[in-house]
Amino acid sequence: MRQGDENPNDKPECCCNKKRFVAAYKASEDLAAVRVTTFDDPENEDQSYRPVSDLPKEASRLADLLHGWGVPEHIEKMMRCSFRISSASIYDLPDLETYRKERVILIGDAAHGMVPNAGIGLLTGLEDVGTLLAILRRFPKPQDWNKALELYSSIRVQRGTAAQNRARNIRGKGMATSIFGSGLNHFIFSLVVAAGNKGYFTHYTAFDCEDEVAKILQEN
Ligand SMILES: Cc1cc2nc3c(=O)[nH]c(=O)nc-3n(C[C@H](O)[C@H](O)[C@H](O)COP(=O)(O)OP(=O)(O)OC[C@H]3O[C@@H](n4cnc5c(N)ncnc54)[C@H](O)[C@@H]3O)c2cc1C
């Protein structure tokens, strides 16, 4: 999933299937952000980070693209007036069975890189760090590190995979359409988000690293 561009080499039938997503966020009274997402673009560009060198030109190109998609005029205008454009390639990593191989462990996105739709990628990585810290506090001696790394992986894989699946699920719901078009789905989705923000249901359960490690050690 990469921000921004349509591939000029796409055949028309590919364009029909391509999923696109535009979202606008209000940051303050005078500042907003526009997120433009396309899916499954081919990897034929330099993947290193490239800040936009000609901002007005890039902003214009993206605004024209959004115009072609038929977005509301004010969103197109916001894009045209951008003062910053950040592009990012996003990868949904496959679920791993272990985060450990011999002396190497994976933490953060390296272990469970996910689509950002649930907003829990960093949070899940911080849980990895907290868990590792809690384990190493209990096993400070090098002769115990084999056990410590295995424990880290066994505690975190389940939680990491659950977070990835949650993110995929939310992305799926956010992108879904029906015979009524995407409008109805977006309306229902925004009601659910609003209900979550009001606290009618819990989006995420707290993970207390110290408690979780203590619990597992007690069980074993
Ligand atoms: C659009 C978007 C919105 C998000 N929103 C949220 C949110 O609301 N809440 C949330 O919790 N999470 C969110 N996330 C996810 C969050 O940003 C990531 O989960 C988090 O940044 C992962 O941290 P990390 O340290 O594991 O990896 P990274 O932040 O990717 O850090 C890895 C670093 O390694 C560097 N690197 C890579 N290869 C090499 C190399 N060969 N040599 C040296 N350095 C290298 C990279 O440049 C990078 O700086 C979002 C992500 C995106 C893309």
CA pair distance 199, 4, nearest whole angstrom = 34
Give the angle 73-49-80 at the CA atoms, nearest 5°. 15
Q: Considering only CA atoms, which residue is closest to atom 28 of ligand 1?
A: 109
The strand pairing partners of 172, in sequence order, are: none
Q: List all residues whose CB is within 6 A of at least one atom of ligand 1.
A: 88, 90, 108-110, 116, 119-123, 125
Specify the higher pLDDT residue, 186 or 106.
Answer: 106
Residue 162 and residue 200 in one domain: yes
Q: Considering only CA atoms, which residue is closest to atom 50 of ligand 1?
A: 116
Contacts of 69 (CB under 8 A, 6+ apart): 20, 22
| Cα 163 to averaged position of ligand 1 atoms, centre (Å) | 15
Residue 149 and residue 60 in one domain: no
CA pair distance 215, 220, nearest whole angstrom = 9
Q: What is the pTM of this model?
A: 0.77
Residue 109 and residue 178 in one domain: yes
pLDDT (tens digit, 9 = 90+) per residue, 206-216? 899 999 999 99
Question: What pLDDT score does 1 carry?
Answer: 31
pLDDT (tens digit, 9 = 90+) per residue, 44-90? 655 555 667 888 998 999 999 999 988 899 999 999 999 888 887 78
**Residues across the chain:** 220
Residue 180 Cα to chain centre, angstroms: 27
The strand pairing partners of 32, in sequence order, are: 26
To test the pocket of ligand 1, the residue of 50, 85, 91, 109 to mutate (highest count of ligand atoms within 8 Å of its CB) is 109
pLDDT class of 3 with cuts at 50, 70, 90? very low
Which range of residues forms the domain containing residue 202? 100-219
Q: Count structural domains, the chain.
A: 2
| Cα 119 to averaged position of ligand 1 atoms, centre (Å) | 12
Residue 60 and residue 143 in one domain: no
Residue 111 Cα to chain centre, angstroms: 14
Residue 210 and residue 106 in one domain: yes
90, part of any domain: no
Tell which residue, 18, 162, 41, has the closest CA to residue 90. Answer: 41
* Beta strand 104-105 pairing with 20-28: unpaired
What is the DSSP annotation of 60-113? HHHHHHHHHHT--HHHHHHHHT-S-----B---PPPPS-SEETTEE--THHHH-
> What residue type is 78 in one-letter code?
M
Which residue, chain included where needed, has tokens 């400070």? Answer: 140
> Exposed/middle/buried for 10, CB within 10 Å: 0-12, 13-18, 19+?
middle
| Cα 109 to averaged position of ligand 1 atoms, centre (Å) | 6
Tell which residue, 42, 44, 62, 43, has the closest CA to residue 52. Answer: 62
Residue 155 and residue 126 in one domain: yes
Residue 76 and residue 104 in one domain: no
Residue 180 and residue 109 in one domain: yes
